[in-house]
């Protein structure tokens, strides 16, 4: 029959079969471009991507003067990007005291620190970030300055800057530790920790001065500000300052939205939990600052072997549950930082294996993940007598860890094992803390479950933190789930992952997505029966996709 077509003979096809496509669905190097389900709205840039805090003078020295700089950061952007970093938080940027580099010890709010480079160098860094589809955030000091700041020096001489700060008669505050009266001075100023003068936000000139500074940086293309020590404003000015700060943040967004050259881009203004200590109500909605984008929970920075005498797992479990309760009360997006320049690094507070496992847990949590430079390597405090938390970034095994190619001795010190353990070595190894962070960061970029999904914890047993990450199908979108286990104990632990299997996910088998670098028994992409007990060794972590 001429009208019949013989289809019995196999026909070779171009492309992959359905089974082959499904086998690639969990591969990080494949991306779905033609979904049959509804396309989900992409979350805001700050909500999904891993952010990376850089301590500028310790990161990379491009001009061999012993101090890290903006051009040094720019030279290392590709190293950061290929390991999953999409946002950098650079601190400090603005001119700070010469001898300590403390980010909020600002001596000139209107300029960038010349030791790090020029305004043009900073602009080049921002532009290259944007070319790489990355983002730039920085500290914007709104609450205090150094006593060496030009405003404060002018205020002491009786100029118009007097009202930039808060003063009382020294005799009236003789026993008040919040006020500082220098010997022989009639007046005392309100200060942070008896040192840095607190700005007077009731003065419109203060608000306008800081607004103009922020506008200049926004015009350069920065994507967000971290505002620190804001509890100090409330301490001095009460609800009035709180309202003024909230309006100030709103005015920054209005400026961007109404400026054609800024293309109505979305900016973020965020703070940190330890910047919101009393007198803030830490469980009140939005802390009374609804214009803040988010507040980073850094409760974990207070944990160490001493505070966790009952075990890291118990300590971490209870701290995380308290943090989730606080987030639910305040209604801010989840945001997490486990270490920063105020405290010892995780590997020093605990040990390297525990630090790597803590990184693993942090990158599995919902919301924003804020890493601190060197955290991806699980490196320790530096060997110097001071500034141990801001040691030189260890790039390779050469002198000073590859931080500088010059003979000038750096201001900061190296870590004790930089010759044996550094970025270059970890990047070349198939398994390393760096490679685990890279895999986790890419998984977060690829699957919105981690940024936006639900999380449920199992009761703590055998030093094992066990939880799920899932999203149910909504309006035709696809759901999905992951099971996460982390054994913080010193011995093997049998884990029943079905204890955290979401109710609507009736499956018997999963696929291993990621394991920590010390795991040999389970390999990524291999299938695993969920009905069997999974054995996790000491300091082992596993993520199973179902």
Query: In this structure, are residues 349 and 342 in contact, taking their beta carbons and an 8 Å threshold?
Result: no
Cα angle 90, 93, 99; round to 5: 110
The secondary structure element, H or E, covering residue 108 is strand 106-112
pTM of the model: 0.90
Rounded Cα gap, residues 106 and 209, in angstroms? 15
DSSP per-residue letters across 83-104: TTEEEEEEE--EEE-TTT--TT
Rounded CA separation 88/84 (Å):
11
Report the C-alpha gap between 64 and 391 in whole angstroms. Answer: 17
The more confidently predicted of residues 185 and 58 is 58
Q: What is the pLDDT of residues 368-378, one digit of tens each?
A: 999 999 999 99
Q: What is the pLDDT of residues 105-119, one digit of tens each?
A: 999 999 999 999 999
The pLDDT assigned to 100 comes to 80
SS3 content of the chain, % helix, strand, coil (to 5): 35, 20, 45
Going 65 to 69 to 73 to 75, the CA torsion angle's sign is negative
**Poorest-pLDDT segment among 190-199, 273-282, 444-453:** 273-282
Residue 32: pLDDT band (50, 70, 90) is: low
User: If you average pLDDT over each of 76-90, 186-200, 262-276, which comes out highest?
Assistant: 76-90
- Write down the pLDDT at residue 365: 98
3-class state of residue 434 by DSSP: helix
| Cβ neighbour number for residue 155 with a 10 Å cutoff | 22
Per-residue pLDDT averaged across 76-93, rounded?
Answer: 97
Return the half-sphere exposure (C-beta side, CA atoms, 13 A cut-off) of residue 300.
27
Rounded mean pLDDT of the chain? 90
Q: Among positive and negative, which fits the CA dihedral 507, 511, 514, 518? A: positive
Alpha carbon distance 519, 502 (integer Å) = 25
pLDDT at 185: 86
Give the span between the Cα atoms of 243 and 286, in whole angstroms.
12
Predicted local confidence at residue 160, as pLDDT: 86
In the structure, what pLDDT confidence band is assigned to residue 293 with cuts at 50, 70 and 90? Answer: very high
pLDDT of residue 8: 34
* Residues sharing a CB contact under 8 Å with residue 466, sequence separation 6 or more, in sequence order: 457, 458, 483, 484, 485, 486, 495, 497, 499, 500
CA 453/CA 48 separation, integer angstroms: 11
What is the pLDDT at residue 178? Answer: 92
| Alpha carbon distances (Å) from 374 to 60, 200, 392, 395, 460 | 12, 37, 9, 10, 30
Q: How many CA atoms lie within 13 A of 199 on its CB side?
A: 27
**Crossing angle, helix 204-220 and helix 239-257, to 10 degrees?**
30
Lowest mean pLDDT segment, chosen from 75-79, 174-178, 225-229, 534-538: 174-178
Give me 378's structure tokens.
């699980």
Q: List pLDDT tens digits, range 139-159.
A: 999 999 999 999 999 999 888
Structure tokens at 523: 């390999």
Average pLDDT over residues 52-64: 98
Q: Is 8 strand, coil or helix?
A: coil
Domains of the chain, with CATH numbers?
151-192 (no CATH), 454-545 (2.60.40.1180)
Structure tokens belonging to residue 38: 């509804």
| CA–CA distances in Å: residue 57 to residues 64, 153, 385 | 12, 26, 17
Q: Does residue 42 surpass a pLDDT of 90?
A: no
CA end-to-end span of the chain: 50
User: Cα–Cα distance between 467 and 393 in angstroms, integer?
Assistant: 33
Cβ neighbourhood burial of 25 (10 Å; 0-12, 13-18, 19+): exposed
Burial letters 107-144, b for 16+ CB under 10 A, else e: bbbeebbebbbeeebbbebbebbeeeebbbbbbbbbbb
Average pLDDT over residues 274-285: 68
Burial of 67 (0-12, 13-18, 19+ CB in 10 A): buried
pLDDT of residue 151: 97
Predicted local confidence at residue 288, as pLDDT = 81
- Cα distance between residue 317 and residue 228, in whole Å: 27
Cβ-count burial of 4 within 10 angstroms (0-12 exposed, 13-18 middle, 19+ buried)?
A: exposed
Q: What is the pLDDT of residues 73-84, one digit of tens each?
A: 999 999 999 999
Q: At what angle do helices 352-362 and 312-330 cross, to 10 degrees?
A: 30
* Helix (H) / strand (E) containing 534: strand 534-536
Residue 44, C-beta contacts closer than 8 angstroms, at least 6 positions apart: 266
Contact 117, 71 (CB under 8 A): yes
What are residue 544's phi and psi, to 5 degrees? -115, 130
* Residue 38 reports pLDDT greater than 70: no
């Amino acid at each position: 029959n001429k009208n019949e077509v013989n289809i019995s003979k196999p026909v070779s096809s171009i492309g992959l079969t359905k089974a082959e496509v499904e086998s690639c669905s969990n591969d990080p190097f494949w991306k779905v471009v033609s979904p049959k389900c509804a396309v989900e709205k992409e979350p805001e840039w700050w909500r999904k991507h891993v952010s990376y805090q850089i301590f500028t003078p310790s990161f990379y020295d491009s001009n061999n003067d012993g101090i890290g700089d903006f051009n040094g950061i720019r030279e290392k952007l590709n190293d950061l990007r290929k390991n999953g970093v999409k946002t950098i938080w650079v601190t400090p940027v603005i001119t700070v005291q010469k001898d300590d580099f403390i980010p909020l010890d600002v001596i000139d709010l209107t300029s960038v620190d010349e030791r790090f480079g020029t305004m043009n160098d900073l602009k080049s860094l921002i532009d290259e970030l944007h070319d790489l589809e990355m983002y730039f955030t920085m500290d914007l000091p709104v609450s205090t300055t150094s006593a060496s700041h030009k405003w404060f020096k002018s205020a002491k001489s009786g100029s118009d800057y007097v009202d930039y700060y808060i003063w009382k008669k020294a005799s009236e505050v003789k026993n008040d530790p919040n006020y500082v009266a220098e010997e022989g001075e009639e007046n005392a100023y309100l200060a942070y920790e008896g040192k840095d003068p607190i700005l007077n936000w009731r003065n419109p000139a203060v608000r306008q001065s800081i607004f103009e500074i922020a506008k200049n940086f926004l015009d350069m293309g920065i994507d967000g500000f971290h505002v620190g020590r804001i509890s100090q404003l409330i301490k001095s000015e009460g609800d009035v300052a709180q309202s003024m700060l909230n309006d100030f943040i709103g005015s920054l967004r209005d400026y961007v939205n109404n400026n054609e050259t800024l293309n109505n881009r979305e900016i973020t203004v965020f703070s940190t939990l330890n910047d919101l200590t009393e007198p803030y109500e830490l469980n009140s909605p939005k802390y009374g600052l609804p214009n803040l984008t988010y507040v980073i929970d850094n409760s974990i920075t207070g944990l160490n072997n001493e505070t966790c005498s009952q075990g890291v797992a118990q300590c971490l479990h209870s701290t995380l549950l308290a943090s989730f309760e606080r987030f639910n009360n305040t209604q801010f997006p989840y945001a997490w930082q486990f270490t920063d320049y105020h405290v010892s690094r995780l590997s020093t507070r605990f040990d390297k294996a525990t630090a790597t496992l803590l990184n693993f847990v942090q990158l599995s949590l919902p919301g924003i993940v804020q890493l601190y430079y060197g955290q991806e390597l699980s490196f320790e405090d530096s060997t110097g007598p001071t500034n141990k938390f801001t040691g030189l970034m260890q790039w390779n095994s050469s002198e000073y860890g590859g931080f500088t190619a010059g003979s000038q001795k750096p201001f900061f010190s190296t870590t004790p094992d930089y010759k044996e353990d550094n970025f270059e070595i970890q990047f070349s190894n198939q398994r390393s803390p760096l490679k685990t962070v890279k895999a986790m960061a890419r998984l977060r970029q690829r699957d919105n479950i981690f940024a936006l999904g639900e999380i449920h914890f199992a009761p703590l047993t055998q030093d094992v933190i066990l939880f799920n990450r899932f999203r149910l199908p909504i309006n035709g979108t696809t759901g999905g789930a992951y099971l996460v286990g982390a054994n913080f104990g010193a011995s093997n632990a049998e884990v029943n992952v079905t204890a955290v299997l979401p109710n609507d996910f009736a499956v018997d088998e999963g696929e291993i997505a990621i394991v920590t670098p010390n795991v040999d028994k389970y390999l990524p992409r291999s299938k695993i029966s969920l009905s069997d007990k999974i054995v996790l060794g000491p300091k082992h972590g596993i993520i199973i996709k179902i």
